[in-house]
Structure 1
């Protein structure tokens, strides 16, 4: 059985969000949802997440899991917000879930941003083992460990569809950076090979799309394995690991850090929870580290 897939594009961060549903039971999962962060006005808004809720309501879906592919560095996850909004409509609590290696990422960035251990322990309701299976209604889904972009990265195979996060991008975009802590270009190459040996008709749904300015195309949520083998500009068929790793390392050495890196990581290692307000208002505070040179 194949699921119903709703791709919803968040244009400010170039992020694909997904609602994936069983057509028989109307049970569904939400993958990599986005909170909107307006840095210039210091506002966190729920416009994108509310669009997802509207799709859930319009299709009478029951959400059974909120799935994160990894701790994103370019947007804030809306998983906790969605979980709380759905609980308010009397839906059962759907666990916020990701791969178990999120613990490594939490440890790395909790020290940098001073996140208390108690906030990390409550961040995720369920952590998957590699290759673990779970149900979306009558459909069996499988977790794939796909490290490289980050060490905790997971994909989700549901029917003949794989929700790849940032483990592979569309052919004319290629691949994601590997210069975050414990990122690894060799590991990313091997993760991409896991995807590229799947049957050629399988659909690879990407976590982002950044159409080249000269392409004239609209953002695409997926292409097939066959499309990737034929045309991915970084790992098409015949590309060696040495070639890929050499190119990726040179490219990553020239990149600036993501615009939303610091707020995103502080929220995402908390599973989408915001730091508690120190004054009981609707305000929250996120740290921005500075490197101070001599005056």
Structure 2
């Protein structure tokens, strides 16, 4: 069957390149979580989106802070941008979202992929979240299906469902640029892991090959960087062509079975992210803390192994 969503995204990239409709991107890099938050705006209208924001969290004390998010507020204010969207590429397992805090100060609608319902079901059960935790995506303002289209100011946006790292990963193609979350990393670092609940290495391979079918000139913005051996600087921007030619895990010529074998073996050596317990419990709620208990305090649960 024709991939109409991908075709629409590819045509959008080519049209925007021909007409010069390129978003302006300012990236804020959070060193403790190696997360790149992208503020994307339309230069013609000053409309902007904030993609994959970060709330500061100290796991030893449980304290939260918003210094990173305040930098974004200061930038948006200084540049006279108008926030239309706060977008999440997926339910992150390595940092807590600052989207509700930013939304309160800057406005905009909070969006994520429709498959968040599956993620909420999986983790709602895992953390025994109870009946007060809604599993219907109502914590978000918009749930996107594959191929959803909208505008950011005058810039066209096409949304692609790219599961594998988690069931709900989405890529946002804005103008001629793609914001692809945790699917690919920089070409010298490879690809995202696929061993979290609901993840699937084979599915990730197909999602990546789908992204790599976008025009080679497509600018690509990543959610994380960890500096590959031999590289001294963090990086979060590349192109589809560079990923096709040089990605160490999935460049052109790497077949599905070889990738799945590599990814599965590599994932078996990885430890869990340091912030996975608080991150998932907060992010499955759209960045809101769990409901306070009768003393007015919110708590993060840690399931204990019984083996």
Measured against the shorter chain, the TM-score band is over 0.9
Give the equivalent residue in structure 1 for 2:109.
Answer: 95
Looking at structure 2, the residues matched to 167 and 53 of structure 1 have their Cα atoms a distance apart, in angstroms, of 27
**Structure-1 residue corresponding to 2:32:** 12
State whether structure 2 residue 87 is matched by structure 1 residue 63. no
RMSD: 1.4
Q: Is the 8 A contact 2:114 2:143 kept in 1?
A: yes
Q: Closer, same or farther in 2 for the Cα pair 1:280/1:138, shift >3 Å?
A: farther
Q: 1:257 aligns with which of 272, 292, 295?
A: 272
Structure 2: distance between partners of 1:41 and 1:180: 26
Partner of 1:43: 63
- Tell me the TM-score normalized by structure 2: 0.89
Task: Tell me which of 5, 22, 46 is aligned to 1:26.
Answer: 46
Deviations 1:1-45 (A, max 9, x none): 111111111111000101110111111010000011111222111
The answer to whether residue 103 in structure 2 is matched with residue 83 in structure 1 is yes
CA distance in 2, matches of 1:47, 1:280: 27
The residue number in structure 2 matching 1:269 is 284
What TM-score comes out, normalization by structure 1 length?
0.93
Cα deviation for residue 280 of structure 1 reads 5.8
- Whether the aligned pair in 1 keeps the contact of 2:57 and 2:64 (CA below 8 Å) is yes
Q: State the 1:49 CA deviation.
A: 0.9
* Residue matched to 1:278: 293
Matched, 1:163 2:179: yes
1:221 shift after superposition: 1.6
Matches of 1:129 and 1:291, distance apart in 2? 36
- Tell me which moved more, 100-109 or 235-244: 235-244
158, 163, 168: which one pairs with 1:142? 158
Q: Distance in 1 between matches of 2:306 and 2:170?
A: 36
> Do the aligned partners of 2:96 and 2:282 also contact (CA within 8 Å) in 1?
yes
- Residues 204-232 of structure 1: CA distance to partner in whole angstroms, max 9, x if unpaired? 111100102x3233111211111111210
Please report how far the alpha carbon of residue 116 of structure 1 lies from its aligned counterpart in structure 2 after TM superposition. Answer: 4.0
Q: Secondary structure at the match of 2:55?
A: strand
* Structure 1 unmatched runs, 5+: 87-92
Q: Where do 1:131-280 residues align within 5 Å?
A: 131-212=147-228, 214-279=229-294
Which 5+ residue runs of structure 2 have no aligned equivalent? Answer: 1-20
Q: Are positions 1:108 and 2:139 aligned together?
A: no
| Aligned-partner SS, 1:13 | coil
